[in-house]
Amino acid sequence: MSGSAAAVLTKPAFRRIEWLARDIAVERRPDGVIILKSRIPLQPYEKHIPASLAKWAKQAPERTWLAQRGGADRQWRKVSYGEAKRIVDGLTQGLLNLGLAEGRPVAILSGNSIEHALMTQAAMQARSPAAPVSPAYSLMSLDHLKLKYLFNLVKPAVVMVQDGPTFEKALKALDLSGVTVVHVLRPCDGIKSVSFADLAATSITNAVEDSIAKITPQTVGKLLFTSGSTGMPKAVINTQEMMCANAAMMMQVRPARSQRAGRDRSRLDAVESHDGRQCRVPSDPGRWRHAVYRRWPADARPTRRNHP
């Protein structure tokens, strides 16, 4: 084989990824244990995730943070850092006004969306762990066994869904006594809920900044659930320090992203799925670090868009 076809097979059009040079210390112990440790120190990182959003909202308020396709015309809906900060502060105030007991989570039953990201940030600012739950537990399960187990395990004070009727069976399978339900699109018949828009429109007071000031590196920011493939899912605690350190590590191992001449350090890589749902809270709100791929039908392929 020769010519362009051979070139395609031998030289796929993949972008070269520049990684941080390795510098590994190896310790071999008498009992056979081998310990590997990087000699490269971790760069300083933020005290908590909300500090990153505040930073970029101040430094680049008009820059796009998140984008998502939606609607019949499949147009991009974008949210800038400045707009996101304003919405998140309103949501935070709304959560604080509910008088939630500190530490009780905000469970998010629906999948990736801009509202999912905004509510996650607001929960962190209100010092209520965000607890994203796999939509499959609500939409694909017939008995909602795992959903009910997780609900009883973490005892959320707030439950958010993108669309009430879509999650109607799941919501009605739960004991929602004393729980505030938040819907983004439509409310669910027979279940009292608050609209996302109304919660975001809450007048902001000094209570928001006071709450943010009380966040420490050890404050629990998220509860992430294991797959439950060998039993019931387990809730894994993620502190603010853990998430910020993880974000710093990911940025540090990709130095080339910040060294391209004439290129902004922050770019948004958005992935459009076959059903139009894409969008993920980046590990550092100042940069979009990963595109999130789901299972794709055989006749559907994700498309990438890059936005400055």
What residue type is 46 in one-letter code? E
Establish if 113 belongs to a structural domain: yes
Strand partners, 268: 307
Across the beta sheet with 220-225, what order do the strands follow? Answer: 194-195, 180-183, 158-161, 106-108, 130-132, 220-225, 235-239
Establish if 263 belongs to a structural domain: yes
Establish if 105 belongs to a structural domain: yes
Q: Tell the burial category of 14 from Cβ atoms under 10 Å away from its Cβ (0-12, 13-18, 19+).
A: exposed
Establish if 8 belongs to a structural domain: no
What integer pLDDT is reported at residue 12 of this predicted model? 63
Looking at the 3D structure of the chain, how many domains does it have?
1
What integer pLDDT is reported at residue 306 of this predicted model? 36
What integer pLDDT is reported at residue 7 of this predicted model? 58
Angle at alpha carbon of residue 237, lines to 235 and 241, rounded to 5°? 160
Establish if 17 belongs to a structural domain: no
What integer pLDDT is reported at residue 295 of this predicted model? 36
What integer pLDDT is reported at residue 15 of this predicted model? 75
- CA-based nearest residue to 108, from 56, 54, 159: 159
Angle at alpha carbon of residue 163, lines to 56 and 107, rounded to 5°? 60
Q: Which residues of the chain have pLDDT under 50?
A: 258-308
Enumerate the H helices of 78-200 as residue ranges.
81-97, 114-125, 136-139, 145-154, 168-172, 196-200
Establish if 206 belongs to a structural domain: yes
Establish if 240 belongs to a structural domain: yes
Establish if 13 belongs to a structural domain: no
What integer pLDDT is reported at residue 158 of this predicted model? 98
The boundaries of the domain holding residue 71 are 49-307
- CATH, residue 83: 3.40.50.12780
